Structure 1
Amino acid sequence: MFPLERQKKILELLMIKKVLKISELTEELQVSVDTLRRDLNLLTKQGKIEKIYGGIKLVESKFGESTIDERMVSHLEEKESIAQKCCEYINDGDCIYIDSGSTTYQIAKYIKDKKKLTVVTNSIPVVNELLTSDVELIIIGGKVRQNEKSVVSYDYLFNFHELNISKAFICASGITIEKGISDYNLEETVTRKKMIELSKEVYVAVDSTKFNKDVTVGVASLDKIDYIITDHHLNKNFIPKFEKTSTNLIISE
C-alpha cells in the first residue's frame, strides 16, 4: 500500500472509530511502527489528526464545516447511492456542471461510459477522476482553495456566460424550506450561483444530514432548484413539506 493510500485509510478508520490506538493501526495496515509514525507525523502536520496518549484522533473542525478529506469518507454509502441516482438524469451528449462537493464528486465515478459528454467543473478531484476517460473536461479558471481541492472564480477571471450548461449538479451544506440551500464559504457560492443562473436544469445532490440546516451563506431559494436528490435516511416529515414547493424531491434507494 502506498503512503497516500495508507493515510486515506487512517482517516477513513478515524471517521468510524474517532480514536485509534497505535497498535490497532499497525495491525490493520500491516506496517511497522516507524512507517506508521511517518504517516501520522504528516497527517498531524497537515492538521488532519491529533496525537493523544497511545493513539490518535481526528482534529475537530473549528468553524462548522468539516474538511473535504473528512467529507469524502463520511456517509459514503449514501453519497454513492445519490450519485448513481443523479446519473440516471445524465444523457449522452449532455454538457453538465459538477460542483466541488464530496457527494457531487461521486457522480464522476459513474459517468465514464457516457458518450460525447462534456463536464464543466471547479473540482480538482473530479478532474483527476475523469482525466483518463473520454469525457471532455472544462475546468473553471481562478484561485485554488487547497484545503477544499477546488477552484473559486469571478466574472473577471472566467467568462461564465460562454458556457451552455444543460444540467448543473450542485452541492450544499444546508437545506431548509424557508431559505433554500446554503453553504459555509462565500467564494464557493459565487460559482454555484452562476451555475444555477446559467443551467437549464438544476440538481442539488446532498445527503440527508444537510436538511433542516441554514448555514453561513445563502446560495439559492428552492424556486431556483428543479430537483433535490438525497438518500433514504431523510426524515419522512420533510417529504410533505416539499410537495408544497416547485422543487422535486427524489430519494435514492
Structure 2
Amino acid sequence: MIERQHQILQYVRQHKVVKLVTLTKEFNVSMETIRRDVQQLMHDKKIEKFYGGIKYIEPVEGIIDQRLHEQLAEKIAIAKACASLVENGECIFVDSGTTTYQMTPFLLNKEKLTVVTNSLPIAFDLIGSNIEVILIGGKVRHSEKSVTSNEFLFRFEHLNINKAFICASGVSIEKGISDFSLDEAITRKQIISISQTVYVATDSSKFNKDVAIQVCPLTDIDVIITDNALSKKTIQHFSDKSIQIKVVNIEENQS
C-alpha cells in the first residue's frame, strides 16, 4: 500500500492535476482503494483534493526541527546503511540534513574515525565520543542549524575525505541532485569535488523531483542510498542510466 501511494504521488507530481477515475485505471484498483490512498496523501499534505480529482502540492523547505520526524523510519534505515559503509580510521563528511543526522548513533562504535560536518546538531551529538570532529567554518544558517562556507572562509583543499554522505531535496535523471539553498549547494559542491567516494542519502519521496538549485549531476555521485518504497520502475529508469541505487528495506530495520 505504501509503495502504491508513493507511485500515485509520483504520477500526480508528473501530471500536476489528475482525476480519481484516471488513477483507478492507471493502477488497476477500485475507486474505494484510490480514495483511501488519496486520503492518506492528503493527511500527509502531499496533495490537495478538488471536485473529481487531486493536484500536487509543490514542496517548500521547512526548518530542520519540523522535518526531523517526517519519514523517520526511512531516514533511520538509510542512515544505518550509510554508517555500515564507514571503516575504522576513515575521514568522512556527514552533511547537514535530517537523514544524515540519524547516522550519529551508528558511528559511535567506530575507531579512529574523523567526521567532517557542517551540521551543528551532529557536532554536538559527537562531543564526548572518541570521534574526532572537524566543523567547517563559515556562516551559520539558522533554519538548518548548519554552517555554509566558501573558499575565503575555509580551506577545503586541506581535507582528505574518504567518503562523503550528502543529502538532497531533489533527485532526477535530468537535473541530478538539487537543494533549496544556494549556500548549501555551494558547500556540497566543494565537498563532492574533494571526496574519494560520494553517497547520496535520501528517502524515496525526493526522487523524480527538482528543486531550486542544482548541486551536481548524477555522474558526480557514486551511489544513492534510499528506502524500498521507491518504485521498481524508477529504480529501473536510473539503472538504465548506469546510476547505482542501494535500496534499504525499512521493515527489516524495524524488526
Q: Which runs of 5+ in 1 are unaligned?
A: 1-16, 19-61
The whole-number CA distance in structure 2 between the counterparts of 1:139 and 1:247 is: 31
- The corresponding residue for 1:232 is 228
Quote how far apart the aligned CAs of 1:111 are.
Answer: 0.3
Deviations 1:142-171 (A, max 9, x none): 011112100011100000000000000000
**Aligned equivalents of 1:198 and 1:161: distance in 2?**
7
Alignment match, 1:242: 238
AA matched with 1:115: E
Q: How many angstroms apart in 2 are the aligned matches of 1:63 and 1:82?
A: 22
Matched, 1:106 2:102: yes
Letter of the 1:170 counterpart: I
Aligned length in residues: 195
User: How much identity, in percent, do the aligned residues show?
Assistant: 51
1:198-246 Cα deviation digits (max 9, x unpaired): 0000000001110011000000111100000001111221111121234
Could you list the per-position Cα deviations for residues 80-113 of structure 1 after superposition, in whole angstroms to 9, with x for gaps in the alignment? 0000111121000110000001001111121001
TM-score by length of 1: 0.74
* Equivalence for 2:201: 205
**Structure number with higher relative contact order (C-alpha < 8 Å, ≥ 6 residues apart):** 2
Kept in 2: contact 1:222–1:245 (CA 8 A):
no
Which whole-Å deviations, capped at 9, do the CAs of 1:52-77 have from their partners, x for residues lacking one?
xxxxxxxxxx9711210111111011
Q: CA RMSD in A?
A: 1.6
Deviation beyond 6 Å, 4+ runs, structure 1: none
Distance 1:115 1:68 in 2: 29
Q: Which runs of 5+ in 2 are unaligned?
A: 1-42, 45-57, 250-255
Aligned mates of 1:242, 1:164 — CA distance in 2 = 30
Aligned to 1:38: none
Q: Which residue of 1 aligns with 2:191?
A: 195
For 1:185, the aligned partner's letter is S
**Greater mean alpha carbon deviation, residues 132-141 or residues 236-245:** 236-245
Q: Where do residues 106-145 of structure 1 align in structure 2 (5 Å cutoff)?
A: 106-145=102-141
